[in-house]
Amino acid sequence: QVQLVESGGGLVKPGGSLRLSCAASGFTFSDYCMAWIRQAPGKGLEWVSHTCSPVSNGNDADSVKGRFTISRDKAKDSLHLQMNSLRAEDTAVYYCARGGYGAYYFDNWGQGTLVTVSS
Amino acid sequence: QSVLTQPPSASGTPGQRLTISCSGSSSNIGGNTVNWYQQLPGTAPKLLIYSNNQRPSGVPDRFSCSKSGTSASLAISGLQSEDEADYYCAAWDDSLNGPVFGGGTKLTVL
């Protein structure tokens, strides 16, 4: 069955960096778009970034553009999110999700990893 | 502030039929299909409805969706206590070139 397992979350100071990872299994990773979606404490869902191939063909939300970089490792079936210049408002649970029909919807989600940006 | 607009809360009694609305614009709901997610307390979101009214395997047909213009609604018939959760609508947005979500509706089963 499809499994998505995130890791890499933690506490980081404002202006710092963090790299999230998502290990995928149970499906042909290269056939699917993958995304990061976050949820601030007590808030709703917010799309962060998605990628549809090793060469890119995705996009980032304006709120993270220029600071976050999504990438995928085809050899290891893993998705990553490099987060730089972190701000307090980036504090959230970050979910890795598999895209359906491109990235129009997300049919499988990981359990999430918590990122806390605080001094 | 979310791109799609949902009521923050809804409530109903067991067995009742209930609807949750979702309002958007021509760049998202008006031109693309609508999806709904269910998030049970303390868990990750789960795809409930996709492509307007398709249900993934395992989702009961008590859940259905309709769309008209730039609005959509999720209907839940035969409300059950296990339906108590947060529900999010979503759609692709052609202007943002990414998916957008509603703010979520917290459903309480009385």
* Of A110, A115, A119, residue with least CA distance to A3: A110
Of A55-64, A76-85, B100-109, the one with minimum mean pLDDT is A55-64
pLDDT at A90 over 80: yes
Residues of A in contact with B97 (CB under 8 A): 59
Pairing of β B9-12 and β B105-109: parallel
Residue with tokens 């943002």: B96
* A76 CA: distance to closest CA in chain B (Å): 24
pLDDT at B36 over 80: yes
Q: What is the DSSP letter of B101?
A: E
A110 and chain B in contact, CB less than 8 A: yes
Interface of B to A at Cβ within 8 Å reads: 2, 32-33, 35, 37, 44-47, 50-51, 56, 88, 90, 92, 96-104
- For A34-77, what is each residue's pLDDT tens digit? 999 999 999 999 999 999 876 557 899 999 999 999 999 989 99
Give the mean pLDDT of B10-16.
97
Does the CA dihedral A106-A84-A63-A40 come out positive or negative?
Answer: positive
pLDDT at A86 over 90: yes
**Cα–Cα distance, A103 to A101 (Å, whole number):** 6
Q: B72-87 as b/e, with b when 16 or more CB fall inside 10 Å?
A: bbbebeebeeebbbbb
* A3 CA: distance to closest CA in chain B (Å): 13
* B79 CA: distance to closest CA in chain A (Å): 23
Name the residue of chain A whose CA is nearest to B48's CA: A107
Give the mean pLDDT of B30-49.
97
